[in-house]
Every structure is written in structure tokens, then in C-alpha cells.
Amino acid sequence: MATKVEIYTWRSCPFCIRAKALLKDKGVAFTEYAIDGDESARTEMAQRAKGRRSLPQIFINDYHVGGCDDLYALDSMKKLDPLLQTS
């Protein structure tokens, strides 16, 4: 079973672009939900993200990673690759 990666973004958000770049550099396929200006989608995202409304919000196999800084922190601690390889 492939790893399921989901990311909620705004198209012009620099943190969203940076998070997607890291995933792309790792060769990870992901589903992007571009929610620019869609308040109902943002509310839905916040429910999944334990109330967090900042963007991006990233999920790996339904595990809430958090935002861009959280993703890069996992990578620097060498915990991102194992998480991406779980099935």
C-alpha cells in the first residue's frame, strides 16, 4: 500500500511552496487541496488539524504532521523518511 500524503495549501503561500518542494525532492506523490479563500474548506482542514488554521497543513497516512516547519523538523531529525515509507 502506498503512503498517502495530503497537503492543504494556498497556491501563493511561500511555506506551502517550500513544503511541496521538499516532498517533490523526496519523490513523494501527494494530494494537494488548494483552499485559497474557501473558508468552509479551511474549517474542515482545521477540524482535521486539531484546530490549526495556518497553511500548509500536512497529513501522512492520516497522521497530522503539522505545517512546513514541522515537516522540515521531522526531516532534520531523520524521522520523515521512515514516516513516508510506512504502508
Q: Where are the domains of the chain?
A: 5-84
Per-residue pLDDT band for 2 (boundaries 50, 70, 90) equals confident
pTM of the model: 0.94
- CA 31 – CA 63 distance, rounded (Å): 14
Torsion angles phi and psi, residue 70, rounded to 5: -65, -40
Mutual orientation of helices 68-76 and 14-25 as an angle, nearest 10°? 30
Per-residue pLDDT band for 75 (boundaries 50, 70, 90) equals very high
Residue 65 has pLDDT above 80, yes or no: yes
Give the residue-averaged pLDDT of 25-47.
96
CATH number corresponding to 5-84: 3.40.30.10
Residue 21 has pLDDT above 60, yes or no: yes
Residues 6+ apart with CB under 8 A from 82: none
Average model confidence (pLDDT) for the chain? Answer: 95
